[in-house]
Amino acid sequence: MAELLIEDHGPVRVLTMNRPEKRNALSFALTEALLEGLRAADTDERVASIVLTGAGPAFCAGADLAEFKDLTPANAPLVDHRAELTMQLHGIFSRLSKPVVTAINGAAMGGGAGLALAGDVGVMAATAKLGYPEVKHGIVAAIVMANLVRNVGRKAAFELVATGEPIDAACALALGLINRVAAPERLLPDACELAEKFAGVERAAMAATKALFYRVLDLPFEQALDAGRDVNKRMRAFRDAKG
């Protein structure tokens, strides 16, 4: 059975994590499949936007704990490889030229919560929950913390990672972690509808908008203005060249 299901709906590519019996936990294989699937969608001219969701009742339970038994100090190369893969996965979304909508169909925990927030926009089922329970297991919500603190205020972010308590969709919306809440039966249609709106935007304009958005996110104000000026001039020249 494929770890990742790939289906095109016109210009929208839907990627579905497909380990429902494991609540779509992020194994080595699924992580690698996601990286490959996202890169392939970004380079496919037929695809204009991407939706990421999970099969079964969960979005993603986070790391596959069954693989942790091999991640020991005695197996440092494997530990390093896993950490590198995880970092690549959570970092790739902002580097893609095409927008990604996460359709959070069920529980999104730990690394799964990180994936839910890594997309450009998020639609969450009213029945879903999101949380970072790592601290309850004596570990740290480490790599996923980078996206969390960029999506929510410092106080809320600290409470999430320091208590490990999950939040529901209404709370996630109030905190600005997601864009919309949908009835479970409407989740994927609503996410695809939003992705289709993004797909209707001129490709070059969307790619430039996304690249600039993530570039200015961490820049000082004056440098952000400079970056915006440069893109403004480049896009005006692009439009003039198109006639």
- Give the C-alpha separation, 158 to 135, whole Å: 12
* Res. 135 pLDDT band, cuts 50 70 90: very high
- 17-51: per-residue pLDDT in tens? 999 999 999 999 999 999 999 999 999 999 999 99
The DSSP annotation for 74-125 comes to GGHHHHHHHHHHHHHHHHHGGG-SS-EEEEE-SEEETHHHHHHHHSSEEEEE
Tokens of 125: 């089922």
Q: Is the pLDDT of residue 237 over 70?
A: no
Closest listed residue to residue 62, CA positions, set 14, 6, 2, 17 = 17
Q: Is the pLDDT of residue 234 over 90?
A: no
Closest listed residue to residue 180, CA positions, set 139, 92, 120 = 120
Q: Which of 7-16, 112-121, 211-220, 231-240 has the lowest mean pLDDT?
A: 231-240
pLDDT score recorded for residue 106: 98
Q: Give exposure, 142-173, as e/b (b: 16+ Cβ within 10 Å).
A: ebbbebbeebbeeebbeebbeebebbbbeebb
pLDDT score recorded for residue 80: 82
pLDDT score recorded for residue 233: 85
Q: What is the mean pLDDT of residues 184-196?
A: 98
Q: Which of 107-116, 139-148, 173-182 has the lowest mean pLDDT?
A: 139-148
- 199-227: per-residue pLDDT in tens? 999 999 999 999 999 999 989 999 999 99
Q: CA 123, 10, 36: angle at the middle one, nearest 5?
A: 70
Burial class of residue 211 (count of CB atoms within 10 Å of its CB; 0-12, 13-18, 19+): middle
Q: What is the mean pLDDT of residues 62-69?
A: 81
pLDDT score recorded for residue 75: 72
Is the distance from CB of 104 to CB of 59 less than 8 angstroms? yes
pLDDT score recorded for residue 172: 98
Tokens of 137: 């297991």
pLDDT score recorded for residue 74: 72
Burial class of residue 104 (count of CB atoms within 10 Å of its CB; 0-12, 13-18, 19+): buried
- 72-84: per-residue pLDDT in tens? 777 777 778 888 8
* Res. 3 pLDDT band, cuts 50 70 90: very high
Please identify which of the residues 134, 165, 196, 222 carries the catalytic annotation: 134
pLDDT score recorded for residue 235: 80
92: phi then psi, degrees, rounded to nearest 5: -75, -30
Which pTM does this prediction carry?
0.93
Q: Classify domain 4-199 at the CATH superfamily level.
A: 2-enoyl-CoA Hydratase; Chain A, domain 1 (3.90.226.10)
Quick check: is 193 catalytic?
no
Closest listed residue to residue 58, CA positions, set 124, 122, 119 = 124
Average pLDDT across the chain, whole number: 93
CB atoms within 10 A of CB 81: 13
- Give the C-alpha separation, 206 to 34, whole Å: 22
Q: What is the mean pLDDT of residues 137-153?
A: 92
- Give the C-alpha separation, 44 to 133, whole Å: 36
pLDDT score recorded for residue 181: 98
